[in-house]
Amino acid sequence: MSAAFGSPRWLTAFIDFPTSEFDAGTRFWLAATGYELSAPRGEQAEFATLVPPEGDDYLRVQRLGDGPTRLHLDVHVDDPWAAAEQAEAAGATLVDSSQHSYLVLRSPAGIVFCLVTARLTSVPAATGWPEGHDSRVDEVVFDIPEPDLEAELGFWKSLAGGSWRAVDGDYPFEARAAERWALRLRLQPAAVATAPVGHLHIRTADRAAEVARLVASGAVVVAVRAGWTVLSGPGGMSLCVLETAGDIAD
């Protein structure tokens, strides 16, 4: 399906921490990725970027006044106002447009996203670790309440465009291939949740070594599955380590 909203050029995942969790959460994700922290930005120095050694950034952090740790997305488009008009027509709600150079919206199911103009194009390589393996955050996932999933999928397929695939099974999902982005985008049903909940996936060819590394950095193992391990990072946001054979690629 082609994009209706201006063919987004990039996707950035923002990890939003309450003030009490911001420092520990940011340290954890710097350790998890091997990236450097940019200088803070914003009126209250509330924003920062996780900067890879090569390639463009696609992960950022924000300090909130309160509320739980969560994810929101930046969708990079040529014309945020035109994209916002079309997104609203498709069921999104405009949240904020008065103070910033970007527009804040909420999807039909409630995922917060911003329309921004920054042009980023270079996907970072996986980070190599002393243990001998490499890994990279390469997918952002939202668990959507089942009654909202069909409409939410239709919205994001129109907004994001690209190639999507459906996977059935015990944990069915639909995902957009990364293509020229640094992140895949996955939507999957949540039988219990009443609002969307986001988390990140890390891919590696050595899951045991990667899990051990993340635990040493402050994560806690929650569950071990056939092809992935679920952990909880500082702030309580889940992350999954997925095992992949060979290179970490789309």
Nearest partner of 247 among 167, 143, 114, 138, judged by Cα: 138
Q: What is the pLDDT of residue 100?
A: 66
Pair 139, 78 in one domain? no
Residue type, 105: L
Number of folded domains that form the chain: 2
Domain boundary among 116, 146, 162: 116
| Residues of the chain with confidence (pLDDT) below 70 | 1-6, 98-100, 245-250
**Tell me, what's the pLDDT at 249?**
43
Residue 205: CB atoms within 10 A of its CB come to 16
Question: What is the reported pLDDT for 101?
Answer: 74
Residues 58, 96 within the same domain: yes
* Same domain flag for 107 and 150: no
DSSP 8-state secondary structure symbol assigned to residue 101: S
What are the residues whose beta carbons fall under 8 Å from the beta carbon of 154, sequence distance 6 or more? none
pLDDT score for 245: 64
What values do phi and psi take at 150, rounded to 5? -60, -45
Judgement on whether residues 34 and 84 belong to the same structural domain of the protein = yes
Query: Are residues 202 and 168 both part of a single domain?
Result: yes
Q: Are residues 141 and 238 in the same domain?
A: yes
CATH classification at residue 80: 3.10.180.10
- Edge-first strand order for the sheet with 93-96 is 36-37, 47-51, 59-64, 10-18, 70-76, 112-116, 103-106, 93-96
Distance CA 159, CA 173 (A): 18
Domain of 227? 127-243
Write the Ramachandran bin of 246: left for phi over 0, alpha for psi from -120 to 50, otherwise beta: left
Q: What is the pTM of this model?
A: 0.94
Instruction: Please give the biggest Cα pair distance in the chain.
Output: 50
